C-alpha cells in the first residue's frame, strides 16, 4: 500500500548548509512516499529540487528571525503569517501524510497541522546554547507543537531539552549526511610556496571569518608564508560586517594575502586547492557540515572546540580542536600541521575514509525515513572507497581585488 503524500516546509531557497540538508531530507523521504516542498520564495534550491523530480510550491510563511524582535520585523512576521495562512491550509489539506518542518523557526506549520488533523515532525538544526533562556523557550515552540522531533546532534537535543525536557521522549538523533567530493584530491606532498588556508561559510561574526584573518596575521608576524581564501557571502543586513572584514585585512597589510570569492555552490575546487581548512566559529553550531566536508576531502582541519562542532569532528587524527575565538591557537595548530606535513597528509587521507562511512547519504536516508515515517531501520550499504588522485594544481596567489 502506497504512503499518503507528505508536505515538507523550509524557510529559505539558497544552498547553504541548512538548505543542502533540506535537499538531502527531501530526496531521502521521496524514496518512500510522494513529497512536495513548500518554500517562501524562488532561489537555487528550487532548481536543485526540481532537477530531482521533487515538486515545489511557493508559499509565504512567517519565519522566526532575530529581526522579529524589532517593530518592523514583527510587522513583517505578522504580514507573512496572514498572507500565507490560506495557501498553507490548502497545502496541508492536500497532504494527508502530514508535514515535515525542517527547522524550529516555522512554528505556524505544526500549529496549523494540529488544526487540520495532520501529523507533524520538526527537524531541529539550531542549537544556540548561549541565547537567553526565555528566547530558547520561545524557539522550542515548534518542536513542542510537533508530534515527533528529529535533532541533528546530541548537542542540539541537549540544548532543546534543557528548556523543554519532555521532548526527549519523542525525539530521535540523526546526524547529518554530508556529501564528499566525487574524488579525493590528495593534498600536495610538499608545501612549496605559501600555506593555503581556506574559510568556507556565511560572513557573519558567529562563523568566525574575522578569527581566520587574525590567525593569518599571527602567522605572517611569525614569518610563516601563508594566504587565506574566503568562500562565502553575507545575509542581507550584514553588509557592514563584510566591510569591516575587508577593512581589517587592509589595516593588517594583508591585501595581497586574502582573497574574497563570494558564495560558491561548488566548494570542492576550493577545498582541493587548499592545504588547511579553518572552521573557527565563535557562535554555537548544531553540528558542523563544513568541518565534515574538509575531512571528507582529506584536508587537515582546525576547528573550534565547542558545541556540535566537537561532535562532528571527533575521532579524526588530522583535526585540531582549539578554543573558540583564539587566533593564536589557530595559528599554533596550523604551524604544528605544517611542521609534520607528511604525517598530517597521511592522517587526513585515513580520516576521509572514516568520514565517508559516518556521513553517507545512505545512512542518513535510512535513519531519517525510520524516524519520520516510523519504519524499521533499513540495512545501510557500506560506501565504497573513492579514488584518490594526485594533488590539485596550485591555487592562484590571493589578491585584494576579488569581490564577494
Tens of pLDDT, residue by residue over 174-210, are 999 999 999 999 999 999 999 999 999 999 999 999 9
Q: What is the pLDDT of residue 187?
A: 94
- Cα→Cα distances 303→145, 155, 278, Å: 35, 16, 6
Domain boundary assignment for the chain: 6-173, 184-357
Query: Could you tell me the three cell numbers for 267?
Result: 566548494
Q: What is the pLDDT of residue 380?
A: 55
User: Among the listed ranges 49-53, 72-76, 222-226, 292-296, which one has the minimum average pLDDT value?
Assistant: 72-76
Q: Which residue has the higher pLDDT, 314 or 388?
A: 314
Number of neighbouring beta carbons within 10 Å of residue 49: 24
Say whether 189 sits in a helix, a strand or coil: coil
Say whether pLDDT at 72 is over 90: no
User: Among the listed ranges 77-86, 161-170, 187-196, 300-309, which one has the minimum average pLDDT value?
Assistant: 77-86
Q: Which residue has the higher pLDDT, 351 or 393?
A: 351
User: Among the listed ranges 47-61, 68-82, 289-303, 338-352, which one has the minimum average pLDDT value?
Assistant: 68-82
CATH class as words, domain 6-173: alpha beta
User: Among the listed ranges 17-31, 131-145, 149-163, 218-232, which one has the minimum average pLDDT value?
Assistant: 131-145
Q: What is the DSSP letter of 324?
A: T
Q: What is the pLDDT of residue 398?
A: 36
Tens of pLDDT, residue by residue over 99-157, are 999 999 898 999 999 999 999 999 999 998 888 888 888 889 999 999 999 999 999 99
Number of neighbouring beta carbons within 10 Å of residue 138: 16
Q: What is the pLDDT of residue 265?
A: 82
Q: Highest mean pLDDT range out of 66-70, 101-105, 272-276?
A: 272-276
Helix (H) or strand (E) holding 262: strand 258-262
Select from 3.40.50.720, 3.30.360.10, 3.40.50.2000, 3.40.190.10 the CATH code of 184-357: 3.40.50.2000
Please name which of 353, 313, 354 lies closest in space to residue 333, comparing C-alpha atoms: 313
Q: What is the pLDDT of residue 396?
A: 40
Question: Biggest alpha carbon distance in the chain?
Answer: 68
Whose cell is 535537499? That residue is 23
Q: State mean pLDDT over 319-341.
A: 97
Q: What is the pLDDT of residue 135?
A: 80
Query: Could you tell me the three cell numbers for 344?
Result: 598530517
Q: State mean pLDDT over 68-96.
A: 77
Band (pLDDT 50/70/90 cuts) for residue 291 is very high
Q: What is the pLDDT of residue 383?
A: 58
How far apart are the C-alpha atoms of 122 and 346, rounded to whole Å? 40
Tell me if 6-173 shares its fold with 184-357.
yes
How far apart are the C-alpha atoms of 353 and 355, rounded to whole Å? 6
How far apart are the C-alpha atoms of 270 and 264, rounded to whole Å? 9
Say whether 395 sits in a helix, a strand or coil: coil
Q: State mean pLDDT over 228-255.
A: 93
CB 105 within 8 A of CB 63: yes
Q: What is the pLDDT of residue 393?
A: 44
What are the residues whose beta carbons fall under 8 Å from the beta carbon of 30, sequence distance 6 or more?
A: 52, 53, 54
Q: Highest mean pLDDT range out of 7-21, 40-54, 59-73?
A: 40-54
Say whether pLDDT at 16 is over 90: no
Tens of pLDDT, residue by residue over 357-374, are 999 999 999 999 999 998
Band (pLDDT 50/70/90 cuts) for residue 399 is very low
Say whether pLDDT at 397 is over 80: no
Say whether pLDDT at 89 is over 60: yes
Q: What is the pLDDT of residue 217?
A: 98
How far apart are the C-alpha atoms of 163 and 139, rounded to whole Å? 10
CA contacts within 13 A on the Cβ side of 374: 9
Query: Could you tell me the three cell numbers for 303?
Result: 576547528
Query: Could you tell me the three cell numbers for 52?
Result: 530531482
Please name which of 190, 147, 186, 182 lies closest in space to residue 167, comparing C-alpha atoms: 147
What are the residues whose beta carbons fall under 8 Å from the beta carbon of 346, sequence distance 6 or more?
A: none
Q: State mean pLDDT over 242-262.
A: 96
Amino acid at each position: 500500500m502506497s504512503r499518503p503524500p507528505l508536505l515538507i516546509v523550509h524557510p529559505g531557497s539558497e544552498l547553504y548548509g541548512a538548505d543542502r540538508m533540506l535537499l538531502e531530507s527531501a530526496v531521502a523521504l521521496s524514496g518512500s512516499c510522494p513529497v512536495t516542498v513548500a518554500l517562501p520564495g524562488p532561489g537555487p534550491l528550487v532548481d536543485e529540487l526540481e532537477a530531482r523530480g521533487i515538486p515545489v510550491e511557493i508559499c509565504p510563511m512567517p519565519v522566526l528571525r532575530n529581526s522579529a524582535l524589532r517593530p518592523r520585523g514583527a510587522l513583517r512576521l505578522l504580514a507573512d503569517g496572514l498572507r500565507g495562512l490560506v495557501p498553507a491550509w490548502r497545502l496541508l489539506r492536500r497532504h494527508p501524510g502530514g508535514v515535515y518542518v525542517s527547522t524550529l523557526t516555522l512554528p505556524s506549520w505544526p500549529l496549523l497541522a494540529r488544526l487540520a488533523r495532520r501529523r507533524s515532525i520538526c527537524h531541529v538544526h539550531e542549537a544556540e546554547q548561549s541565547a537567553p533562556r526565555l528566547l530558547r523557550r520561545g524557539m522550542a515552540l515548534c518542536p513542542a507543537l510537533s508530534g515527533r522531533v528529529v535533532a541533528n546532534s546530541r548537542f542540539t537535543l541537549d540544548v532543546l531539552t534543557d528548556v523543554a525536557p519532555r521532548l526527549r521522549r519523542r525525539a530521535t538523533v540523526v546526524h547529518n549526511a554530508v556529501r564528499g567530493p566525487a574524488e579525493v584530491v590528495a593534498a600536495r606532498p610538499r608545501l612549496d610556496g605559501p600555506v593555503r588556508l581556506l574559510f568556507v561559510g556565511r560572513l557573519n561574526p558567529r562563523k568566525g571569518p574575522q578569527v581566520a584573518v587574525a590567525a593569518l596575521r599571527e602567522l605572517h608576524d611569525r614569518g610563516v608564508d601563508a594566504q587565506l581564501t574566503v568562500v562565502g557571502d553575507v545575509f542581507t543586513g550584514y553588509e557592514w560586517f563584510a566591510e569591516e572584514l575587508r577593512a581589517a585585512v587592509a589595516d593588517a597589510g594583508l591585501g595581497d594575502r586574502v582573497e574574497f570569492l563570494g558564495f560558491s555552490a561548488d566548494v570542492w575546487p576550493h577545498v582541493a586547492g587548499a592545504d588547511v581548512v579553518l572552521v573557527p566559529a565563535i557562535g554555537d553550531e548544531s553540528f558542523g557540515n563544513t568541518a565534515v566536508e574538509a575531512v571528507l576531502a582529506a584536508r587537515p582541519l582546525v576547528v573550534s572546540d565547542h558545541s556540535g562542532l566537537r561532535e562532528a569532528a571527533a575521532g579524526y587524527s588530522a583535526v585540531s580542536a582549539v578554543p573558540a575565538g583564539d587566533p593564536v591557537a589557530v595559528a599554533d595548530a596550523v604551524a604544528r600541521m605544517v611542521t609534520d606535513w607528511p604525517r598530517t597528509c597521511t592522517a587526513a587521507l585515513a580520516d576521509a575514509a572514516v568520514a565517508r562511512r559516518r556521513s553517507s547519504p545512505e545512512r542518513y536516508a535510512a535513519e531519517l525515513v525510520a524516524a519520520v515515517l516510523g519504519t524499521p531501520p533499513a540495512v545501510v550499504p557500506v560506501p565504497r572507497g573513492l579514488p584518490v588522485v594526485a594533488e590539485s594544481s596550485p591555487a592562484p596567489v590571493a589578491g585584494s581585488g576579488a569581490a564577494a
